[in-house]
Structure 1
């Protein structure tokens, strides 16, 4: 498109050409035509010099923790056989990562490339957009301006804050397991359950001679197959239950707690199920996941309504029927406490963090009646419970529910 200078030049050229023709002044007419010719030639050459650049973007690393930085590299490649002109590049950046970036991109030779770099800092949990990149090309006279936008958009994940929870671990492993359950060697009868035929390469020291003599073929003892203890982390994301200023509200504390517990349970070799509104939507509550993937899910976790949380509780109860331990991060809203209490299976432990959400608005607020009632109900059902105020750290809360002194009748 033409710039303001070009429109002015076009107007002057037309005026001079018209005046020269009307008044019969040949020199004025020639000057007007020269200005118009200059404008046309500049427009043609500016179009040819703009070129088509291919913009790609790499982010290192692709996910960061809150407060950490990532390096973004923008690579502009010229696939054409002619040189491009100088241009200005504006890289759109999510405002939560920082300001949009502007660069002067030098002329790029045929089949050559130019690299531009900038750094962003993650201050807010979530998935943040990087791009698109727009390029503005002007001719040396400032008469034409051409804008091109590369629609490619990349994403940077800012993970929730993960607090190291130290050596403390949840008491009671529970009876739940993921995958194969170990089979023990039978001592009285039913030898076929744990004894199988010999396969080439089996250790001869494991030959079961009694069964071999009885069957007339070589039999070996079946090795125990590995199993993993299982756990479920339930995140109460009800929007009517969380309070506090943005970024420091009770929901952010809950997400950070869930992330820290997921990492700690993975360190203890638990097979971890994550129950949030997002995992309910894609039915992944039933399947354990890797810590990295679950942290990325928590990075994009959002609040939900009460009906979604009700369906999440039902799905979570199905996932722990085998006896997995349950870690629940709850608000102080009293809503079907019996549903949550019943999630802890006999022989398995239940750990609950109850958020006193009023303290996230006013740190000096009196203890919430709802939090105390919920604490009493869950403790009576054999849960280990910690009421969390805004000043309570995730580490302090974890150490509280891990203390042996919290053992009650029916609890582990």
Structure 2
């Protein structure tokens, strides 16, 4: 329904009947019928003039609740109509246009609003996909008392709504990032018990037995960890996110990539990692410590408008870890990414069972830890569990031939060569007899 000023069906019917009766009265020379015809044709015209002269004195604004929404969440929009005129409004018919993937169109009756007063209507929101949306002003229909003429006017209003990408809760950090939360794998970064300002690291032969953090070691199950006194940080990391739609598999590939990138970035920032996020063209999206809100806002509108050929990954500085979220890259693009390895390098390759093998092989050959993520599973309503499992695999070093490299890096190798002794053997030798 478009804005305008027209006669209703009833008004058109009266006008048509009046003109027809008037013509017949002239042909038949019936003056009584002429009066009926003139009356029938005049009423719609007068109604049309009266509705055209009447001003709509309502102003509208939108209130979004909650202010921040993530994909999949529900909310509400409150339309507040305020009478800015000096007379009570007539009953109106309000139509709120819908917004795809956010708001379903609705039609409501608005009761008379006294001067200076306001009325409110509430409509449900369902954020199906991330992105930036605009809710336009509603369409009002003003009808005369006889129902012969109507005026349709759009109230000027535009409210922007930003739907953030889904953030999947993750646990742990890669072994290339040292400090609090590394050993325990806890999301809040605090090992159970001990000084809240103390971090943990892997046990090294020769460490004091009294510094072992037994509770965190029990959680790890695979290795012993010791307390490190003093405040610690997790170092720095660079997250490379490829958000080219053509570079991902299927219609859900891009959304899975953005969800995984947002989840990883948000989790690392919560762990106090100095994070830099770049895209497929080497552009910096965010950088710093307290940039979680900026990251989610930027990824909310990360589109697939970039052509497939734009691929220039950049890893600035010398970070402790590089994490890439990509699709099944061709050989030349996988080679370009492989050259950006710095410190611990982890790549999440989003593909189906028939793709991504060449990309995975090239990255692993270059020393990357590669985690393959099946888009078909990650794109389902329960896909968050698959992404969380992929992150846990990356933190443990699973899915890679260098799974134990990070674990062994912090352990001392005897001067006479490597030893098969376990950390517990070193502890046994140090116990006083």
TM-score bracket relative to the smaller structure: 0.7 to 0.9
CA shift in 2, pair 1:402/1:110, >3 Å = same
SS of structure 2 residue aligned to 1:323? coil
Q: Is the 8 A contact 2:286 2:295 kept in 1?
A: no
Q: Counterpart in 2 of 1:169?
A: 173
Q: Displacement of 1:73 after TM fit? A: 0.4
Write the distance in 2 (CA, Å) between the matches of 1:358 and 1:18. 75
Q: Displacement of 1:19 after TM fit? A: 5.0
Write the distance in 1 (CA, Å) between the matches of 2:267 and 2:127. 23
Q: Is the 8 A contact 2:60 2:79 kept in 1?
A: yes
Question: Do residues 395 (structure 1) and 388 (structure 2) align?
Answer: yes
Q: Counterpart in 2 of 1:136?
A: 141
> What is the correspondence of 1:62-73 to structure 2 with a 5 Å cutoff?
62-73=67-78
Q: Displacement of 1:288 after TM fit? A: 6.6
Question: Do residues 257 (structure 1) and 260 (structure 2) align?
Answer: yes
Q: Is the 8 A contact 1:157 1:296 kept in 2?
A: yes
Q: Counterpart in 2 of 1:309?
A: 311
CA shift in 2, pair 1:106/1:78, >3 Å = same
Q: Counterpart in 2 of 1:126?
A: 131
Q: Displacement of 1:174 after TM fit? A: 7.7
Write the distance in 1 (CA, Å) between the matches of 2:142 and 2:372. 60
CA shift in 2, pair 1:8/1:297, >3 Å = same
Q: Counterpart in 1 of 2:345?
A: 350
The one-character-per-residue Cα deviations of 1:275-319 (angstroms, maximum 9, x if unpaired) are 236993xx5456676212211221222233244322xx1xx32x3
Q: Is the 8 A contact 2:19 2:41 kept in 1?
A: yes
Write the distance in 2 (CA, Å) between the matches of 1:7 and 1:240. 53
Q: Counterpart in 2 of 1:266?
A: 269
Q: Displacement of 1:241 after TM fit? A: 2.8
SS of structure 1 residue aligned to 2:266? helix
User: Of 362, 383, 387, which residue of structure 2 is paired with 1:374?
Assistant: 362
The one-character-per-residue Cα deviations of 1:386-410 (angstroms, maximum 9, x if unpaired) are 1222346111111111116723389
Write the distance in 2 (CA, Å) between the matches of 1:117 and 1:7. 35
Question: Do residues 3 (structure 1) and 8 (structure 2) align?
Answer: yes
Q: Is the 8 A contact 2:16 2:41 kept in 1?
A: no
Write the distance in 2 (CA, Å) between the matches of 1:44 and 1:240. 56
CA shift in 2, pair 1:372/1:342, >3 Å = closer
Write the distance in 2 (CA, Å) between the matches of 1:289 and 1:233. 15
Q: Is the 8 A contact 2:175 2:407 kept in 1?
A: no
Moved more, 100-109 or 38-47: 38-47
Write the distance in 2 (CA, Å) between the matches of 1:24 and 1:110. 52
Question: Do residues 386 (structure 1) and 354 (structure 2) align?
Answer: no
Write the distance in 1 (CA, Å) between the matches of 2:360 and 2:234. 35
Write the distance in 2 (CA, Å) between the matches of 1:10 and 1:240. 58
Q: Is the 8 A contact 1:262 1:291 kept in 2?
A: yes
Q: Counterpart in 2 of 1:60?
A: 65
Question: Do residues 408 (structure 1) and 409 (structure 2) align?
Answer: no
Q: Counterpart in 1 of 2:236?
A: 230
Q: Is the 8 A contact 2:62 2:77 kept in 1?
A: yes
Paired residues, number: 340
CA shift in 2, pair 1:8/1:148, >3 Å = same
**TM-score, normalising length from structure 1?**
0.73
Q: Displacement of 1:72 after TM fit? A: 0.3
Q: Counterpart in 1 of 2:322?
A: 326
Give unpaired runs (5+ residues) of structure 1: 176-223, 360-364
The one-character-per-residue Cα deviations of 1:255-278 (angstroms, maximum 9, x if unpaired) are 111011011111111232222369
The one-character-per-residue Cα deviations of 1:111-138 (angstroms, maximum 9, x if unpaired) are 2211110111112222233223111122
SS of structure 2 residue aligned to 1:74? strand
Q: Displacement of 1:91 after TM fit? A: 0.8
Q: Counterpart in 1 of 2:247?
A: 241
Q: Displacement of 1:13 after TM fit? A: 2.8
Q: Is the 8 A contact 1:50 1:137 kept in 2?
A: no
CA shift in 2, pair 1:377/1:10, >3 Å = same
